[in-house]
Amino acid sequence: MGGKLAESEKADVVRRYTSGESASRIATSLGVTRQAVVGILRRRGIAVRVNAKLTSEQKAAAVERYIAGESSPRIAAAFKVSDMAILGVLRRRGVAIRGKHSLREGAFDDLTADAAYWIGFLFADGTVHFREGLKPQIGVALSKRDREHLVKLRDFLGSTHAISDISSNRACIFSVRSERLADRLLALGRYSGSIDRTLAKSRHFWRGVLDGDGSLGEYGGKAQVRLVGKRQLLEAFNEFLASQGMTGLTVRSHKSIHIIGTTGKPAKKIIHLLYNDAPTVLDRKADVARRILAKGTSHPRRSWPVAVL
């Protein structure tokens, strides 16, 4: 990592950090070291939080103190962590958050690595609903086995909204209402028009898309990647791959959907490009990607099931 940050990027570091984002996450998205981010904060008089995880005992104590009426910012200060960290503990323990829901409505304004990923994921698996008299609703439903991925999305958005479980079909849903977020997704090309150029060139965006509507696995000793969706999106993916030297793929029609995919060495290259050292990823697919990338040639017949969202 290296490189000098512009003044606008330094100002963004301060904004993101004071909003609760970690120094490590900010550093990764900007391609610099954590020490560089900490230096920027200290030179601007921003108190740097201790980079430590709460123990099980501290988490239990935080829950007890919140239920007793203490505020999450005060608890966060006591344990020297961010308010978002405390809110995350509370949400995972099923504790109802007091007061008005929070939401970082400018989460997609800057196309950081994390923002690009979640935009890609929502392009593939999310929806934007408009209803007269109400704010637009951005929602996504996943299988309950991937519920923690919705927790990640909620944390990225700085949201305190609930994740609802649907027992009838073993799914869970997360949604927020925001005109700013909805307008931003549409402006970036969610439903019509060209996909934003910065996104179209981002491996993080395409990993989000593949985590949403794609599959990766290994069959008969060969890696395999598949992505389904609208032709416009898949054509843009094909152009992105071509820009990375991966040519020869085509978008094929299958009934009402379109598919692009490949097997063997080209598939493994795609998996490496999108998943190697990925800062944000669907855990289930990351596990499959790691096994494929680490696999040698001594067991060509070994296979794993496709990881489809």
Residue with tokens 């935080």: 62
Q: pLDDT band at 6, cuts 50/70/90?
A: confident
Q: pLDDT value at position 199? A: 97
Q: pLDDT band at 224, cuts 50/70/90?
A: very high
Q: pLDDT value at position 73? A: 77
Q: Strand ranges (DSSP E) for the chain? A: 126-129, 137-143, 163-166, 171-177, 214-219, 222-229, 252-254, 257-263
Q: pLDDT band at 300, cuts 50/70/90?
A: very low
CA dihedral 203, 2, 286, 82 (to 10 degrees): -110
Q: pLDDT band at 296, cuts 50/70/90?
A: low
90 residue type, one letter: L
Tell me how far the alpha carbon of residue 222 is from its chain's centroid: 28
Q: Is the pLDDT of residue 304 over 60?
A: no
Q: Check: CATH 3.10.28.10 for 197-294? A: yes
Q: Which residue has the higher pLDDT, 246 or 220?
A: 246
Mean pLDDT of 222-226: 95
The H or E element that residue 150 is part of is helix 147-156
Q: pLDDT value at position 127? A: 92
Q: Which residue has the higher pLDDT, 168 or 53?
A: 53
What are the pLDDT digits (tens) for 229-256?
999 999 999 999 999 999 999 999 987 8
Task: Quote the CA–CA distance of 115 and 149 in Å, as a whole number.
Answer: 14
113-187 and 197-294 have identical folds: yes
3-class secondary structure, 157: coil
- Residue pair 125/210 in contact (Cβ under 8 Å)? The answer is no
Contacts from 36-43 at CB under 8 Å and sequence distance 24+? 36/1, 36/5, 37/13, 40/5, 40/10, 40/13, 40/14, 41/13, 41/14, 41/17
All structural domains of the chain with their residue ranges: 7-92, 113-187, 197-294
Query: Assign residue 306 a region: left if phi > 0, alpha if psi is -120 to 50, beta otherwise?
Result: beta
Name the token pair of 153: 């999305």
- CATH second-level architecture of 7-92? Orthogonal Bundle (1.10)
Task: Quote the CA–CA distance of 152 and 290 in Å, as a whole number.
Answer: 20
Mean pLDDT of 280-290: 96
Q: Is the pLDDT of residue 138 over 90?
A: yes
Q: pLDDT value at position 234? A: 96
Task: Quote the CA–CA distance of 62 and 43 in Å, as a whole number.
Answer: 31
Q: pLDDT value at position 299? A: 41
Q: What is the mean pLDDT of the chain?
A: 86
Q: Check: CATH 3.40.50.800 for 113-187? A: no
Task: Quote the CA–CA distance of 63 and 5 in Å, as a whole number.
Answer: 39
Query: Which residues contact residue 72 at a Cβ distance below 8 angstroms, ignoring those fewer than 6 apart?
Result: 66, 83, 86, 87, 90, 97
Q: Which residue has the higher pLDDT, 107 or 66?
A: 107
Percentage of residues in the chain having pLDDT higher than 90: 51
What are the pLDDT digits (tens) for 67-123?
887 888 788 878 878 777 888 888 888 887 776 678 999 999 999 999 999 999 999
Among 236, 279, 196, which residue's Cα sits nearest to residue 27?
279
Q: pLDDT band at 297, cuts 50/70/90?
A: very low
pTM > 0.75: no
- Residue pair 228/214 in contact (Cβ under 8 Å)? The answer is yes
